A and B are shown apart, each in its own frame.
Chain A
Amino acid sequence: MTVDFDSVRLIDVSRHFGRRRALSRVTLSANRGDILGLLGPNGAGKSTLIGILATLAAPSAGEVRFDDHPARALGAGLRSRIGLLAHELHLYPELSARQNLVFFAELYGLDKCAVVDAALERAGLHERADDPITGFSRGMRQRLALERALLHEPRLVLLDEPFTGLDDRAVDLVSERLRQLAASGSIVVLATHDLDLADGLVTHVALVRDGRLIADEPAGTGLRARYRALIGAA
């Protein structure tokens, strides 16, 4: 059964790996229409946060709630509403672009005829659809991975460095895609180092450092200056 929700909330979420603390008492929320930028230096805990929001990792303490429902109670129905583009691309390099999309479309119970061609078109890969993706550039694989993550029109879209390897035109297309997703009611969470790309795209900013949330505020202009002030001061 598909689960729908309007907001996601992390409440006092901590995550430890052995004695290493990856996240410490993070409280954060995002609503439909938001593009939440998760910003912070390397090792700040952004990917761990994305993993917890994706329900792939469980918090050591605290809770993730989708509307008023704890994530652990929702199971497969919740997963059908989450799309994840991680740093690793979640694609099988031996398979063609089409085979990758068809496999995941079927796994999500989608009508592959309806969604796969449209996804290939959006990724600009229609002419290379039947080539193994080992021969693709990083940018082509990144675009394909993004479309794979969005095949099932997820409510919560989690993106870890989605602009890696993209040229300027592709960056513009992806940015526009993310704006459209948010406008259509998705919750977009975007972890990135690229402050220039995040500036003007995100509607909310969460700054993370050493596993702690040091700022959670509406986005404005001058993101780089605020980032330097906050991260430098923390």
Chain B
Amino acid sequence: MFLRTAWLVLRKDFAIEARSWEVLTTTLFFAASCVLVFAFAFVKEGRAVEDAASGILWIAVAFSGTLALGRTFERERYSETLRALLLAPAPRPALYIGKLLGMLAILGVAEALLVPMVAFMFQATLFARPLLLLGLLAGGTIGFAAVGTLFAAMLVRARSRDVLLPILLYPITIPVIIAGVRGTAALLESPPDEPIALMWIGILAAFDVVFVTLALWTFEPLMTE
């Protein structure tokens, strides 16, 4: 029942996105614009500022992720469908997992655009250790989306939700972003510092376990008005 509910919510979000392409296109456009602007600021005469690539990659992920979170939950607010989901006899944490998986899919697509873009514009060797990069991106994205999905759901009915979401989200996810930036910077060294990157992946995995567990535990009470 739990996995089936999560799958139904995910499939429903995909069906809506397939009709409108609204969240994906705005997220990708925003992410690409972010990298483009930073490239003009931090690349001089074909040389990027040291470690800028890793920071900009993660800033683009965080900013575009916040935009995607807002838009995704705006859909649930528009016709108060989140209340209809909460009234269903399904396990409420499964609703959270379904929305989280949808966010991860959107951010995954955004990162598939961002990584080659950052690698090209900042002449960064992001593909030197692809599996380690994948581990860092997966760990960081899960941590960010886990907290973001919980807060975005919680704020659906708040009048100033667009302001409150980043105010609540960024302070809590700063450790995740820092871990992602430092781990990616370690991969960009020459030669790549694999032990340091692995250490940051481990730290990200620990954050993910804590954040997902806390979100599953608190989703139901937080969603009861």
> Is residue B49 contacting chain A, with contact meaning CB distance below 8 A?
no
Whether A104 pairs with B84 at a CB distance below 8 angstroms is yes
> Is residue A51 contacting chain B, with contact meaning CB distance below 8 A?
yes
Whether B16 pairs with A108 at a CB distance below 8 angstroms is no
- A187 CB to nearest B CB, Å: 16
> Is residue A167 contacting chain B, with contact meaning CB distance below 8 A?
no
Inside 8 A of A94's CB, which chain B residues have their CB? Answer: 16, 19-20, 75
Whether A95 pairs with B225 at a CB distance below 8 angstroms is no
User: Complex: how many Å from CA A58 to CA B86?
Assistant: 13
Inside 8 A of A2's CB, which chain B residues have their CB? Answer: 89
Q: Which of the residues B75, B88, B225 comes within 8 Å of A57, measured between beta carbons?
A: B225
User: Complex: how many Å from CA A82 to CA B89?
Assistant: 9
Whether B89 pairs with A77 at a CB distance below 8 angstroms is yes
- A197 CB to nearest B CB, Å: 23
Q: Which of the residues A55, A58, A82, A90 comes within 8 Å of B80, measured between beta carbons?
A: A90
Contact mask B81-117 → A, CB, 8 Å, 1/0?
Answer: 1011111111100000000000000000000000000
Size range of the chain B interface in the assembly: 20 to 34
> Is residue A106 contacting chain B, with contact meaning CB distance below 8 A?
yes
Give residues of chain A (93-112) contacting chain B, Cβ–Cβ below 8 Å.
Answer: 93-95, 99, 103-104, 106-109
User: Complex: how many Å from CA A118 to CA B197?
Assistant: 57
> Is residue A76 contacting chain B, with contact meaning CB distance below 8 A?
yes
Inside 8 A of A174's CB, which chain B residues have their CB? Answer: none
- A106 CB to nearest B CB, Å: 5
Whether A56 pairs with B224 at a CB distance below 8 angstroms is yes
Contact (A92, B87) CB under 8 Å given A56-B224, A58-B225: no
Further contacts, 18 of them, CB under 8 A, given A82-B87, A92-B75? A58-B224, A58-B225, A76-B91, A77-B89, A89-B79, A90-B80, A92-B79, A93-B78, A94-B16, A94-B19, A94-B20, A94-B75, A95-B19, A99-B15, A103-B8, A106-B8, A107-B85, A109-B89
The 10 closest A-B pairs by CB, nearest first: A80-B89, A90-B84, A88-B80, A57-B225, A76-B89, A107-B88, A94-B19, A79-B89, A94-B16, A103-B12
- Cross-chain pairs A/B with CB under 8 angstroms, 24 sampled: A2-B89, A51-B225, A55-B87, A56-B224, A58-B224, A80-B89, A82-B87, A84-B83, A84-B84, A89-B79, A90-B80, A91-B79, A92-B12, A92-B81, A93-B78, A95-B12, A103-B12, A104-B84, A104-B88, A106-B8, A107-B5, A107-B88, A108-B88, A109-B89
